[in-house]
Amino acid sequence: RITVTFNINNSIPPSADEETQEEQKPDEQEPDLTSTPNFVVEVIKDDTKQTLVLDCHYPEDEVGHEGEEESDIFTIREVSFQPTGESDWKDTNYTLNTDSLDWALYDHLMDFLADRGVDNTFADELIELSTALEHQEYIKFLEDLKSFVKCQ
């Protein structure tokens, strides 16, 4: 069983440098804000008591490069095993940071995810869903803020 979780909070990357904004012509349209949340993939097998947990994220320099078919648009940041069925993960369980991981093993982990449907297509669809949810929540926040500060 595969479970993917993500949080839209803080998922909009910071705006472009102010220098770039100053150079922008007044009639140019603002770039669309896109939500690129970190996400966690949990792989649970019925016959084990452990869950394989892969913490993934979208590197800022990779987002928006649609033409590059060979490149992955997300990366695996950390990998760990956690007890199946536990709602709180144990910080004491060994967590492997992929910066120090052999590239061949990293590629096998990416293939493992792709074989289970977590690939570039999934990652693009997650961006679309997250962006839509973030915009919806932003509008609701503005409406709630307006109601809150409205003088009676």
| pLDDT tens for each residue of 51-99 | 999 999 999 765 554 544 568 999 999 999 988 877 777 777 899 999 9
The separation between CA 1 and the C-alpha centre of its own chain, rounded to angstroms, equals 20
- pLDDT tens sequence across 105-130: 999 999 999 999 999 999 999 999 99
pTM above 0.75, yes or no: yes
User: Residues for the chain: how many in total?
Assistant: 152
Structure tokens at 93: 């369980």
Q: In sequence order, what are the beta bridge partners of 95?
A: 80
Element (H, E) at 78: strand 75-83
Q: Among 64, 33, 53, 61, which Cα is nearest to 118's?
A: 53
In a 3-state reduction of DSSP, which class is residue 40?
strand
Which tokens go with 135? 């915009």
Backbone φ and ψ for 55, nearest 5 degrees, come out as -90, 115
CATH (residue range 33-61+68-148): 3.10.280.10
